[in-house]
Chain A
Amino acid sequence: MSTKVISLVSIGAHPSSGRARRAEQDARAVELGLQLAGDNLQVVHAGDPREEALRGYLGMGLDHLDVLEQPAGADVLGVLGDYLRDAGAQLVLAGSQAETGEGSGMLPFLLAEKLGWPLVVGLAEVESIENGTAQVLQALPRGQRRRLKVRLPLLATVDNAAPKPRQSAFGPARRGVLAARTAEVVDDPLLAKDALQPARPRPKRLKVIKAKSGADRMKAATAKASGGGGKVLKDVSAQEGAEAILKLLVEEGVLR
């Protein structure tokens, strides 16, 4: 299999100490990449090549890691897009959300939009890659999986449903090379005009369980979360379907 696989990595932060480390989800992206491409996996980070935490990824058995030199606060979207296109990437893996910096989780979406590639979120497993099409399993809530066929090139994000990352070992981490590459720096206009503040956790909707018996409570606890409204469209034409979706999106305020 000669599919070019690239994993995108960032600097993580330990949840209780805040100390820099390899990011949990990004490490899973590297793990999945190593399982798919072995030594041919290419790993890239946009940021500071002197950051020692990057060696955590090298310790997983990589001989080098490309670092596109970027100062803090730069917009890495364009740089990463160019890099991926120039490298001829077929499958790009990334964590869902960074543990440091903005951590908005938007990068994969913006990158896919910029490149014009399909995006799969919550990739759990790549089953096969044949004739420029990948058959993958996407993780859904409650342990469900959805089998998808997607044409390459493809961008996919992984979360905790992807395989656990292998241990990072000191020897390979020390030997591995952080290969710095100079890249164009684009300032992020968003940062210039707006200030960052930590997100407030969304208030949780209180769930009132009226169940009387244990079996009812069990049912309530395991039932699929379902919205009240919505309707099922069956046997409609593409045109009608698209109109229904568009109407919903406008109603929900996703599109204006």
Chain B
Amino acid sequence: MLNTLLPILLFTALALAVLGALRRVRMWRRGRPSKVDLLGGLLAMPRRYLVDLHHVVERDKYMSKTHVATAGGFVLSAVLAILVHGFGLHSKILGYALLVATVVMFSGALFVFKRRLNPPSRLSKGPWMRLPKSLLMFAASFFIATLPVAGILPEGTGGWVLVALLGIGVLWGVSELFFGMTWGGPMKHAFAGALHLAWHRRAERFGGGRSTGLKPLDLEDPNAPLGVEKPVDFTWNQLLGFDACVQCGKCEAMCPAFAAGQPLNPKKLIQDMVIGLAGGTDARFAGSPYPGKPIGEHGGHPHQPIVNGLVDAETLWSCTTCRACVEECPMMIEHVDAIVDMRRHLTLEKGATPNKGAEVLDNLIATDNPGGFAPGGRMNWAADLNLKLLSEVKTTEVLFWVGDGAFDMRNQRTLRAFVKVLKASGVDFAVLGLEERDSGDVARRLGDEATFQQLAKRNIQTLAKYQFQRIVTCDPHSFHVLKNEYGALGGEYQVQHHSTYIAELIAAGKLNLGQHKGGSVTYHDPCYLGRYNGEYQAPRDVLKALGIEVREMQRSGFRSRCCGGGGGAPITDIPGKQRIPDMRMDDIRETEAELVAVGCPQCTAMLEGVVEPRPQIKDLAELVADVLIEDEAPASAKSPAAKCEPAEVH
């Protein structure tokens, strides 16, 4: 009896799964075209899954082992079950293999079950609470049904009662694991996830690579859409990527905006995109809401505008583009790309950049700097430094990219410190001076691709006039944009952050350094240096060379918490319950360090904005310049400070 029932159940579920898969594929294909190597991606998929994805999951040992047992056991059980019970290949070996597979799966599922007993708030509840039971049921039912095949129990044991029980168990199991996989159940993550890995929009991320630069919009074609208005405006593989979300909430746990009580939760955002892709409301979402926004009031459709239907604009503007969510995501979903895509529509089509956004963008267009300062004042900070201008020397070894910090009095101290270091090392360096423009970072993160491209193209034109070996900058945002985003517009350069360059100078013995004399020091990793560019070591090497033993924060390195200053977040200024820099300062205070070393003008500004008493904030360049031992004229360095008369204040 079981021999007729099981094949029917198995093949019905499989057929329905295939139907569901086709339906899901049609939903993804509503998206815009995207150039993807379809076959190559599929071939690379197993490796991406077993190696790249596993690396991310492996950070959580408990979950990685659980998942290996459960998923591995399931895949094996499913294949064997189809052979044994579907096609009736009742061989003893297959039977034993299936028994082993189900046992492995069952033991994995037990750990899934255990974690679900008291789940952390980041995990989604709802149907996800059912999943461990379904897994256990699937494994147990097939285990018992296979015992006769392996010859452990005689055929027909248990009579019709057992048949009925097994029938129900198998029905439950295959409904969740085959049918549910393509019809939107929790197991959808396996089906969509596998294809998402195969056709990922940033294939360079696999095999240890890094791909963090935003993709340019085509502004030449007047018919090309300017960003994403409706779910169908995403590319099809972005839609597929949203569908891969397993709702583990690792992004939510890391998101600085969520922690600050701003109305953003990366997990919910991705789930909202799934709602947009399939149509419906968020009433059935079983995870944490956007802080301050109740669930059940938003809904969407593939052809309806996303903003102010499915997602509120504030949600999109809360993001600091710190990429903590992307770094954590075990499914390698690209949250930041999606957010910037939607911001692009708001800024380029609707003119709806909130708060100071419009003013900053206008300033960038009219003065090439976000503050609207007269462009002629760009080099005022270096009036007495006799810096070489590229327009005069034409060629140099190191081009020092100053950045818009040139207009900020606090950052000018960093810049002057770095110039002191450069001069002490004796390297040949020059600056662009008044020819330099904003790198376009803020404009691009605020969604103004047009202004970004204009600034970038003009900078590239300027740079093309001169010869230099490399660009060095104290600003990780300029660094990232010059290094990773100018390439698509025709500007390929060797770019270094000043921490990397100073580390090189120290290693080459070009700097004569004393030892740091202040108190204990911790180091804050800037997002755009660390997560965006993988530079965690050089700043620590520099600090080590100064005799500093870094007191690491709990969240450091790739898990560093954002200072709140990226992505134009201080400009759009979406209110929350607390400020992101205050939270970061609490992280810093935990280390009991007296000084925090930073490597970014944004981080400096945000952290110094925290009210005192708090640890002091110093840029790496300042720390190095403080302990620099200069051979020539050591006396003259101290005298000007004493003569200084108070300037007239207006």
A interface vs B, CB < 8 Å?
Answer: 14, 16-17, 19, 21, 59-61, 166-172, 174-175
Contacts and interface: CB of A to CB of B under 8 A. Distances in A.
Contact of B348 (A19, A21, A61, A170): A170
B367 A16 contact: yes
A171 B362 CA distance: 15
A59 B222 contact: no
Interface string B360-382: 01100111100011110000000
Contacts of B358: 167
Interface in B350-404: 350-353, 357-358, 361-362, 365-368, 372-375
B365 A170 contact: no
B450 interface: yes
A17 B349 contact: no
Contacts of B352: 167, 169
Contacts of B450: 170
A61 B351 contact: yes
A14 B367 contact: yes
B226 interface: yes
A167 B366 contact: no
B349 A169 contact: yes
Interface string B446-490: 001111000000000000000000000000000000000000000
9 contacts: A14-B367, A16-B366, A60-B351, A61-B351, A166-B351, A167-B353, A170-B226, A171-B226, A172-B349
Given A167-B358, A170-B226, A170-B448, A17 B366 contact: yes
Given A14-B366, A19-B366, 12 more contacts: A16-B375, A19-B367, A21-B365, A59-B351, A61-B351, A167-B361, A168-B351, A168-B362, A169-B349, A169-B350, A169-B351, A170-B348
A60 B226 CA distance: 16
B411 interface: no
B222 to A, nearest CB: 7
Given A170-B226, A170-B448, A17 B367 contact: yes
A168 B349 CA distance: 9
Nearest to B371: A16
A192 to B, nearest CB: 33
Contacts of B362: 21, 168
A17 B368 CA distance: 9
A62 to B, nearest CB: 12
B373 A16 contact: yes
A166 B359 CA distance: 10
Contacts of B222: 174-175
Contacts of B372: 14, 16
B230 to A, nearest CB: 15
The 7 closest A-B pairs by CB, nearest first: A169-B351, A167-B351, A14-B366, A167-B358, A16-B374, A171-B349, A170-B450
A170 B374 CA distance: 24
Contacts of A16: 366-367, 372-375
Contacts of A171: 226, 348-349
Interface in B53-93: none
Contacts of B357: 167
A215 to B, nearest CB: 27
B602 interface: no
Contacts of A172: 349, 351
B124 interface: no
Nearest to B226: A171
Could you say which of B347, B348, B351, B362 has the most chain A C-beta atoms within 10 Å of its C-beta?
B351
A172 B8 CA distance: 59
A17 B226 contact: no
B375 A169 contact: no
A11 to B, nearest CB: 13
Nearest to B359: A167
Contacts of B353: 167
Contacts of A17: 366-368, 374-375
Contacts of A169: 347-352
Nearest to B347: A169
Interface in B418-471: 448-451
A60 B362 CA distance: 13
A31 to B, nearest CB: 11
Nearest to B375: A17
Which of B350, B358, B366, B448 lies at the interface centre, i.e. has the most chain A CB atoms within 10 A of its CB? B366
A171 B219 CA distance: 10
A21 B359 CA distance: 13
B534 to A, nearest CB: 33
Contacts of B367: 14, 16-17, 19
A250 B466 CA distance: 67
Nearest to A171: B349
